[in-house]
Amino acid sequence: MPERRSRLPVLDVRSLPGPETIRRRQLSNGLVILARENFSSPSVVLTGSLTAGALGETKDNAGLADLTASALMRGTSGRPFERIYEAIEAIGASLSIGAGTHATSFRGKALAEDLDVLLDLLNDVLRQPSFPPVQVDRLRAEKLTALSIRDQDTASVAQLAFDELLYGDHPYALPSDGYRESVSGLTDAAVRAFHRRAYGPAGMLLAIVGAVPAARALDAAEAVLGDWRNPEQPAPPAMPSVRGLAGSPRRDALLPGKSQCDLVVGSVGPSRFDPDYLVAALGNNILGRFGLMGRLGDVVREQAGLAYSVASSITGGPGPGPWQVMAGVAPANVERAFDLIRKEIGRFVRGGVTPQELSDNQANFIGRLPLQMESNEGVAGALVNMERFELGLDFYQRYPERVAGITREHVRAAASRFLEPDLMAMTVAGPGAGGN
């Protein structure tokens, strides 16, 4: 009997963000502002990023960008710690900031009538933080506690080992939150120096979505941030190339007293700029996400009963993130799970996907798009992604057609390009896992 193919959803792309409804303005200082109106609720959301990430860190100062971002809201030259949060709570708003490998990101939400207040607070913490030593010391202690907890978590330890094994001396080998040894040596002076050098408007993105006319949102943001200049701000560090693997290196991390092992298997995947990224993302959905975690969930968990959990992920950003499989297994099942995961990846690469798998996952990708765009937060994030990865303002309007145009051969070719079962890094953390 022939397989039944899912009917692909038909969307009204005019309802999605596009050139007709997105206003874009690039300021002379390098800041790009995007705005889209939505009067279905009285709120407004802002989200964005600066190029002050952890990409230039070393093992000795890993976690510096993360600590700096966390300290921004602990006091400014005009507002002590308490007043910042009193100002936010007084209008029922939210504002948060965090750092990753490539960028420091921020997001906030308020009633539309309080957009100016929210922008003023954002401007203050980004440009005028005071980094009180007592607050930096407190944050550092909190970070060290979190790192101690992380270093006893089997999934986190397996991931750290995997990143180091896969990326070697590439910046992606370092965790953006650092190590206990590196974070313990970070001072308020180091935080101030990093902020003075790295924070600035060049390359900054800001999206504003909600019940505010787009022209007014653009004008309000420009009035607050348009005069920001930082002559010291460097260009983002160049992205080094990633060396390919020779064989399938493995690293075991022993964590006594644990009842479960976590393992990671994978290789270097595409960046978000790679023309194969969308095809690879769809293939990854088939491999280890769709339904009860795709093929891997069916074979490794349901049929063989070897894993408590198993899933695959693809995390391309400005650089080539990993395409990896994560699984939680009983210590006695580690070797069998490794073997079965690699065999299933081999079948996925060599045998390709079925027409039913392809159509089911195309329907999933297209059908979930309107749900991702039904909130101001979802639209604001989409605007930032379109700008950051140079996708074009019509990207989401073209998205359904692009997904529908993906073929089984496209998926097979992308999988063959990035996944090779005999060239994968493998790590495991847990009790009795070994001791490299």
d(CA 406, CA 363) in angstroms, rounded, equals 12
Packing angle of the helix pair 334-351, 408-418 (nearest 10 deg): 130
What are the tens digits of pLDDT across the range 171-226?
999 999 999 999 999 999 999 999 999 999 999 999 999 999 999 999 999 999 99
d(CA 393, CA 384) in angstroms, rounded, equals 10
d(CA 436, CA 431) in angstroms, rounded, equals 13
What are the tens digits of pLDDT across the range 6-41?
789 999 999 999 999 999 999 999 999 999 999 999
Tell me: pLDDT of 5 over 70. no
The residue whose two tokens read 């092992």 is 261
Among the residue ranges 17-26, 156-165, 234-243, 379-388, the one predicted with the least confidence is 234-243
Tokens of 239: 């992205």
The residue whose two tokens read 């203050």 is 124
Sheet containing strand 32-37, strands side by side? 23-26, 32-37, 205-210, 43-50, 104-111, 94-99
261 φ, ψ (degrees, to nearest 5): -100, 145
**How large is the average pLDDT for residues 153-176?**
97
pLDDT of 407:
98
Tell me: pLDDT of 436 over 50. no
Tell me: pLDDT of 3 over 70. no
**How large is the average pLDDT for residues 63-68?**
98
Tell me: pLDDT of 2 over 60. no
Task: Report the 3 state secondary structure along the chain.
Answer: CCCCCCCCCCCCHHHCCCCCCCEEEECCCCCEEEEEECCCCCEEEEEEEECCCCCCCCCCCCCHHHHHHHHHHHEECCCEHHHHHHHHHHCCCEEEEEECCCCEEEEEEEEHHHHHHHHHHHHHHHHCECCCHHHHHHHHHHHHHHHHHHCCCHHHHHHHHHHHHHHCCCHHHCCCCCCHHHHHCCCHHHHHHHHHHHCCCCCCEEEEEECCCHHHHHHHHHHHHCCCCCCCCCCCCCCCCCCCCCCCCEEEEECCCCCCEEEEEEEECCCCCCCCHHHHHHHHHHHHCHHHHHHHHHHHHHHCCCCCEEEEEECCCCCCCEEEEEEEECHHHHHHHHHHHHHHHHHHHHHCCCHHHHHHHHHHHHHCHHHHCCCHHHHHHHHHHHHHCCCCCCHHHHHHHHHHCCCHHHHHHHHHHHCCCCCCEEEEEECCCCCC
Tell me: pLDDT of 395 over 50. yes
CATH class of 20-225: alpha beta
d(CA 341, CA 204) in angstroms, rounded, equals 41
Cβ atoms of residues 22 and 189 within 8 Å: no
Fold agreement between 20-225 and 250-430: yes
The CATH classification number of 250-430 equals 3.30.830.10
Cβ atoms of residues 280 and 272 within 8 Å: no
The residue whose two tokens read 């941030």 is 225
The residue whose two tokens read 């040596």 is 185
User: pTM score, two decimals?
Assistant: 0.95
> In the chain, what are the domain boundaries?
20-225, 250-430
Cβ atoms of residues 46 and 380 within 8 Å: yes
Sign of the four-CA dihedral 95, 318, 352, 287: negative
**Other CB atoms closer than 10 Å to residue 82's CB: what's the count?**
9
Q: Which of 288, 285, 299, 267 is nearest to 406 (CA)?
A: 285
pLDDT of 377:
98
**Other CB atoms closer than 10 Å to residue 169's CB: what's the count?**
9
- For the chain, the average pLDDT equals 96
pLDDT of 4:
59
Q: Quickly state the pLDDT bin for 435 (edges 50, 70, 90).
A: very low
* Chain mean position to CA 8: 28
